Amino acid sequence: MPGSHGSLSKAGKVRNQTPKVEAKPRRSPVPRVRNRKNYIKYVILKK
């Protein structure tokens, strides 16, 4: 491809340098909270 941006030899340089951060385990919200959010989203905001 003519005129590609940047050289391929530098591809992924920054991503490989950054330290790996483990993802935090996420707990799903309590059903009451989840239902309230859905109610607001669908009924009140009509989305």
Which parts of the chain have pLDDT scores under 70? 1-4, 47
Q: Is residue 18 part of a domain?
A: yes
Looking up tokens 């009509």 gives 46
Query: For all residues of the chain together, what is the average pLDDT?
Result: 87
Alpha carbon of 28 to those of 1, 13, 24, 39: distances in Å? 46, 35, 13, 17
How many structural domains is the chain composed of? Answer: 1
Could you tell me what percentage of the chain is helix, strand and coil, using 3-state DSSP and rounding each to the nearest 5? 45, 0, 55
Are residues 41 and 47 in contact, defined by beta-carbon separation less than 8 angstroms?
yes
Q: Which domain holds residue 34?
A: 8-44
Q: Is residue 1 part of a domain?
A: no
Q: Is residue 3 part of a domain?
A: no
